[in-house]
Amino acid sequence: MKKSNLLFTVTASLLFFMACNNEAKKEQTQDKVKNDPATVKRKEPVSQPLVSHIYTADPSAHIFNGHIYIYPSHDTATGTPEDDLGSHFDMRDYHILSMDSVGGEVTDHGVALNIKDIPWAGRQLWAPDAAYANNRYYLFFPVKDKKDVFRIGVATSDKPEGPFKAEKEPIKGTYSIDPCVFKDDDGSFYMYFGGIWGGQLQRWNNNQYDSTAKNRKPDTLAILPRIAKLNNDMKSLAEPVKEVKLVDKDGKLFNEKDNNKRFFEAAWVFKYKGKYYFTYSTGDTHLICYATGDNPYGPFTYQGVVLNPVDGWTNHESIVEINGRWYIFYHDVQLSGKTHLRNVKVSELKFNEDGSIQPLTVYQ
């Protein structure tokens, strides 16, 4: 009887062990298949990079002389170590791109402005913008001065593709990054700018610089973008720099912890059916959002998301109407997989009847 019980126990234990072992092998096989790159369904981008021979980012798109011109940053692998202040975004010149239509052949017009030709510049040419006035083209750009403080400069050319010649000094009263120059219906030009963290906007209070200022705490008011009207010469400010109020539906300012709605960088302004649209990046939550207002100074009321996160840490948008259809220019890291080596793209953007924007996801 004892031998029979012992044999039964051993047999049962062996069968249990074999069953567990088979189940474990089955799970391992399933995991291997699940994680095998050959069997994983990759998310496919809906748009391809405009160019692949250089890395480009932060595209500001404009229609000049019936052509589409894109003014991007030019990413390069300079070997600068990465840090939270973006030192690895070590851009040293600008290349301007153009095309006759969306989806058409893209022309790279070569170096339009080199940091070596900006008398006051120190390092890091970040996201630019452009405008046309006075029968001239103006390229607005942020770059750190020789004291490592971001300022905004301007360069001019008689052609939209350049080359551009920089002024000897930055635009007095400007600071931080990401200039966006918006032309209103009456011909007035306004410059929006600012970016926190590496963009140094947190160091400016009442237009005064404090090198010791830190990022805001979660429960404090979020830092606001800036605006100033430009003089007719397009090389100077017509007024002191002001804050742009970005508020919720109840008219309340956002706190820093509202980082899926508060401003981080990449201001871009356009007009649609009489409304002013202020679009921007939330930075660490990787959204492009928008808010609307009744005049260029705001306040702008948050409305929602324009573009969901892309591959890569950053994004930076411009939105333009081309032949009756609206497009968003942006970037991701499809070509390199590295956050500081990006590529510019374009996708169509659609509005609802009430003027709201249909949120866009650029992968399928």
Q: Domains in the chain: how many in total?
A: 1
> Cα separations (Å) of 50 from 57, 108, 147, 286?
11, 10, 35, 21
Residue 20, C-beta contacts closer than 8 angstroms, at least 6 positions apart = none
Average pLDDT, the chain: 91
Does 202 reside within a domain? yes
Output DSSP code: residue 357. Answer: B
Give per-residue pLDDT as tens, 121-150.
999 999 999 999 999 999 999 999 999 999
358 in a structural domain? no
Whether residue 299 is preceded by a cis peptide bond, meaning omega within 30 degrees of 0, is yes
Provide the pLDDT for residue 12.
44
Residue 50 included in any domain = no
Active-site residue (options: 58, 75, 178, 332): 58
Per annotation, catalytic residue among 75, 265, 317, 332: 265
Confidence category of residue 84, pLDDT binned at 50, 70, 90? confident
> What Rg do the C-alpha atoms of the chain give, in angstroms?
26
Q: Contact, 345 vs 48, CB < 8 A? A: yes
For the segment 4-22, the average pLDDT, to the nearest whole number, is 43
Range of the domain at 116: 55-349
* pLDDT at 17 > cutoff 80: no
Rounded CA separation 255/271 (Å): 27
Residues 6+ apart with CB under 8 A from 313: 286, 339
What does the chain come to in residues? 364
Please state, as a whole number, how many other Cβ atoms lie within 10 Å of the Cβ of residue 162: 22
Where is pLDDT greater, at 360 or 43? Answer: 360
pLDDT of amino acid 39: 38
Ranges 13-22, 135-144, 156-165, 284-293: which has the least confidence: 13-22
317 is catalytic: no
Query: What percent of the chain lies above the pLDDT cut of 70?
Result: 88
How many degrees, rounded to 5, is the angle at CA 348 between CA 346 and CA 352? Answer: 145
Rounded distance between C-alpha atoms, residue 49 and residue 72, angstroms: 13
pLDDT at 34: 40
Measured from the Cβ of residue 69, the count of other Cβ atoms closer than 10 Å reads: 21
Q: Which of 22-31, 98-107, 205-214, 266-275 has the lowest mean pLDDT?
A: 22-31
Can you give the pLDDT at residue 41? 55
* Domain assignment of residue 362, yes or no: no
CA nearest neighbour of 116 among 94, 93, 97: 93
Return d(Cα 265, Cα 85) in angstroms, integer.
Answer: 13
pLDDT surpasses 80 at 97: yes
Q: Would residue 58 show up in a list of annotated catalytic residues for this protein?
A: yes
pLDDT at 37 exceeding the cut of 80:
no
pLDDT band at 323 (very low <50, low <70, confident <90, very high): very high
Query: Is 231 in contact with 187 (CB distance < 8 Å)?
Result: no
Query: Does residue 360 lie in a domain region?
Result: no
Q: What is the spatial distance between Cα 158 and Cα 136, in angstroms, rounded to a whole number?
A: 5
In a domain, 37, yes or no: no
Which tops the pLDDT comparison, 16 or 137?
A: 137
Would you say residue 195 lies in a domain?
yes
Q: What is the CATH number of the domain that holds 281?
A: 2.115.10.20
Which pTM was predicted? 0.89
Q: What does the alpha-carbon distance between residue 190 and residue 180 come to, in Å, rounded to a whole number?
A: 8
Is 289 a domain residue?
A: yes
